[in-house]
Amino acid sequence: MNINATLIGQAIWFALFIWITMKFVWPPLQKAMADRQAQIADGLAAAERGKHEQELAAKRSADALRDAKEKSADLIAQAEKRAQQIVEDAKGTAKVEADKVVAGAKAEIDQEVERAKQSLRERVAELAVAGAEKILRKEINASAHSDMLVALKQDL
Amino acid sequence: MSADGGTLTTTGYIEHHLTNLAVCADSAKVDGVCTGFWTFHLDTLLVSGILGLVVFGFMALMASRATAGVPSGGQNFVEMVVGLVDQQVRDTFHGKSALVTPLAITIFVWVFVMNAMDLIPVDFLPTALQAATGNHHLPFKFVPTTDPNLTFAMSLTVFAISIVLGLKTKGFGHFMHEVFAVPFGLKLAPINLLFRIVEEIARPISLSLRLFGNMYAGEMVFILIALLGLYQLPLALPWELFHILIITLQAFVFMMLTIVYMSMAAESH
């Protein structure tokens, strides 16, 4: 073991390599590693944010779905009610119409009856007159009893 | 490989493997071996320098292309290593310093790749180099961390940085107060100073000797296994596998202790 001037040379090499590492190796690597760390942290934060937003969106969509369901149920109920009302209305209208028709028919029938009665009345008078004529032809003068016959006709 | 005259002796083989390729002025040589202080171990300097340039060049390239997006395979690998070291620094060092993390990265990566040279079988590279140069007596140690010059250079640099960091974060007055008044108070200032000096000297010595000792011993075991001829085959593999653990652990320990020393220097007692 002999110590000699090699020591000085080695110290120079050592100093040179420390300088190279300090100047050219460590700073860029440190920067690259720190930057990458920041990037990864950003990415993780973004992922977290995305997840949160997704949760919110899911909540929102569930809300919207529930609203739509409620609205549609309302609409259906309303429609049913309306349909029922329409049916009721139709029923009413039909009844009124039917009543009208029935009333019309009744009136017509009454008229017919009246007319029939009228004609019958006429005929009854005629028949009575004819009958009476036949009777009276034998006994009395027609003209003498016409006032009585008219009064009779009025009574019918 | 052969020590002299083509005959291979065990001692010669081991000695040859433990000899650095040294250059020095001729006047400093004794029996052809450099003994003076102004000796340079070319193998240590070259291997550690080339490894460092390659690996830190690669890391700087990857860092320059680094993006915050999806990283490439190379960037990912570098980031993994750097991230591991950075995590240790964060856990241990609580002060603010732009130097500590790069320092720890440099130590971990550099020591690891230098230690990893130990995993290449002991005769491969020296034999290849001897064949290439034509000099069959050329010594060349391929594991720079088995040279105490390297480990001491690193630990002394760490020591110097820790002193500077202490002065910078605490200020001169507080630093001096700590030197003279901790742990026994100002009345026992000389003893405190003595304690402090022992502590400060012990750190770089233990730091460098730990790495050197582990790697030197591991290399020695590899050399001894290589001496066994064919029997080395069942032995070299388990030691190699075990050594993977050691080289990583030693790099980690050197880095970790450096961070601890830095945090002790920066924090008040």
- Judge: A39–B78 Cβ closer than 8 Å, yes or no: no
Please state whether beta strands B40-41 and B22-23 pair in parallel, antiparallel, or not at all (unpaired): antiparallel
What percent of chain B shows pLDDT beyond 70?
A: 96
List C-alpha distances in Å: A56 to A49, A53, A60.
11, 5, 6
Q: Pick from B124, B125, B196, B111: which is nearest to B162 by CA?
A: B196
φ, ψ (nearest 5 deg) of residue A48: -60, -45
> Per this entry, what is the length of chain B?
269
- Of all residues in chain A, what percent are helix, strand and coil, respectively (each to 5)? 95, 0, 5
- Three-state secondary structure string covering B122-191: CCHHHHHHHHHHCCCCCCCCCCHHHCHHHHHHHHHHHHHHHHHHHHHHHCHHHHHHHHHHCCCCHHHHHH
pLDDT-based confidence at residue B198 (cuts at 50, 70, 90): very high
pLDDT for the residue A87: 95
pLDDT in tens, A6-64: 999 999 999 999 999 999 999 999 999 999 999 999 999 999 999 999 999 999 999 99
Please state whether beta strands B40-41 and B33-34 pair in parallel, antiparallel, or not at all (unpaired): unpaired
**Partners of B41 in the beta sheet?**
B22
Is B196 noted as a catalytic residue in this protein? no
Is B210 noted as a catalytic residue in this protein? yes
**Which residues from chain B sit within 8 angstroms of residue A27, using beta carbons?**
63
State yes or no: pLDDT of B122 exceeds 60: yes
pLDDT in tens, B136-150: 888 888 999 999 999
d(C-alpha B136, C-alpha B139), whole Å: 9
Given a contact cutoff of 8 angstroms between Cβ atoms, the answer to whether B174 and B269 are in contact is no
Q: Which of B206, B208, B263, B268 is catalytic?
A: B206
Q: Which of B155, B162, B192, B214 is catalytic?
A: B214
pLDDT for the residue B5: 43
Which residue is it, tokens 């029938």?
A: A109
- Of all residues in chain B, what percent are helix, strand and coil, respectively (each to 5)? 75, 5, 20
Q: Pick from B88, B113, B99, B122: which is nearest to B251 by CA?
A: B113
**Partners of B23 in the beta sheet?**
B40
ipTM for the complex? 0.90
Q: Which residue has the higher pLDDT, B5 or A44?
A: A44
DSSP for A64-130 reads HHHHHHHHHHHHHHHHHHHHHHHHHHHHHHHHHHHHHHHHHHHHHHHHHHHHHHHHHHHHHHHHHHH
B99 and A CB contact within 8 Å: yes
Is B214 noted as a catalytic residue in this protein? yes
